[in-house]
Amino acid sequence: MSRLLIIGYVWPEPNSSAAGARMMQLIKFFRERNYKITYATSARRSENMADLEALGVTSLEIQPNNDEFDVIVQELDPQIVLFDRFMMEEQFGWRIDKFCPDALKILDTEDLHSLRKVRETILKSGQEFDDLYLDADITKREAAAIYRCDISLIISEFEMNLLVEKLKIPEHILFYLPFTLETVSSENNSYTERRDFISIGNFLHEPNWRAVLNLKENIWPLLRKIVPDARLHIYGAYPSQKVWNLENKAERFLVHGRAENAQKVMSDARVCLAPIQFGAGLKGKLAEAMACGTPSVTTSIGSEGMAGDLEWNGYIEDDITQFVESAKILYTNEQLWNKKSEQGSKILKERFDQDFHQARFDRKLSMTLKQLPQHRKENFTGLMMKHHLQRSTYFMSRFIQIKNSIN
């Protein structure tokens, strides 16, 4: 039985975030191929985390800057190590290189953190993207982690193009793997069985908080006046007090917190609103809306990488006035709503088919495992960066470990 070690940033919460759902898809993929999986993280356990043990996955709590990890990883002797986000490769990658040099290293970027952070800065400062993105330390850190891994999973075609064209990263160490769906339900609620607007997203994720604030301050004050019978339902895990404080029942702005059944609340709503001002990757909430037959109004960043050349299952609007008008039309026009609802199913079937993308991933894994020495030679920059990181991080880690033992 082949062995896979996943080094996680957090414990996966598939019902709280798209990142959690993505991780569970990867775990399922490897389980179906008879891998013995160990999931290790230094994060605290959470009440909403997936029951990994029930899936036959071994859970381990590990500590950074600790030689105990070296012993653990040598005992596990994995054929594949998967890093959950680039920060985990920075922390543990050099140890894998030292003690499991023949293991295939995969980085699941989730989304490009550098892209999201730079876009957030641009929103506040108005700086030009190209200059800021190439100069940002986080861009260099994330790109370096990608170089040091054998395969990096990129969730969006937009981000694939950015890495290849802007950062000149070799395409053979990148692999486009969006989140996928097995089937799309054909028994969703009809237009007349639904009512109200919905917005959903984990509030630990800053773009989601900013989107809800945008709804509260700019969009809903206009929209509620022209659709007077509708309410706006706000769902999301880990709402802080500032989120709860946004609720105003008189204005029909209702905050619910975490949805116990996200699919049900999405299926009960008539239109999904996602005025996302910055971010990266694919938006799980919008894929969920498509799966539930719920048309959406979002921004160009919200829709990025999802529909390709296909028509959107609703409207893409960056202007607030147009956003409001499109939401109203979509909510009140049953014929248009039915057309857009069907379009969501088409996007999912053509863009996110599970069998298609898993077969591609199977081929990539098989080919890379068979040709790993040559694959690495063709990425000399990555070999150079691994050598540099192993030496520099080794001494820093030893310093931190000794310092901690003294304290």
DSSP strand pairing (314-316 vs 174-176): unpaired
Would you state the pLDDT for residue 338?
Answer: 97
Give the pLDDT score at 397.
62
What confidence tens digit (pLDDT) does each residue in 127-144 have? 878 778 988 999 999 999
Which domains does the chain carry? Answer: 3-180+354-406 (3.40.50.2000), 191-351 (3.40.50.2000)
Contact residues for 354 (Cβ-Cβ < 8 A; gap 6+): 180, 181, 182
Q: In Å, what is the CA distance from 223 to each residue of 129, 311, 324, 328, 365?
A: 31, 24, 6, 7, 49
Task: State residue 233's pLDDT score.
Answer: 98
Contact present, 275 and 219 (Cβ < 8 Å): yes
Assign 395 a pLDDT band (cuts: 50, 70, 90): low
Res 393 pLDDT > 70: no
Split at pLDDT 50, 70, 90, the class of 390 is low
Point out the least confidently predicted range of 79-93, 210-224, 265-279, 381-395. Answer: 381-395
Cβ count near 59 (within 10 Å): 16
* Residue 271, pLDDT above cutoff 70: yes
Cβ–Cβ contacts within 10 Å for residue 399, how many? 11
pLDDT higher than threshold 70 for residue 184: no
CA-based nearest residue to 237, from 220, 262, 213, 263: 262
Give the pLDDT mean for 395-404. 64
Output the average pLDDT for the chain. Answer: 92
Segment 20-39 mean pLDDT: 96
Lowest mean pLDDT among 20-34, 125-139, 191-205, 336-350: 125-139
How far is CA 144 from its chain centroid? 20
- In this structure, the number of other CB atoms found within 10 A of the CB of residue 66 comes to 16
The answer to whether residue 304 scores a pLDDT higher than 80 is yes
Confidence band (pLDDT; 50, 70, 90) for 394? low
What angle is formed at CA 350 by the lines to CA 19 and CA 341, rounded to 5 degrees? 85
Task: State the pLDDT at residue 124.
Answer: 81
Half-sphere exposure of 279 (CA within 13 A, CB side): 27
Q: Report residue 201 as tokens.
A: 């997203």
Beta bridge partners of 40: 7, 60
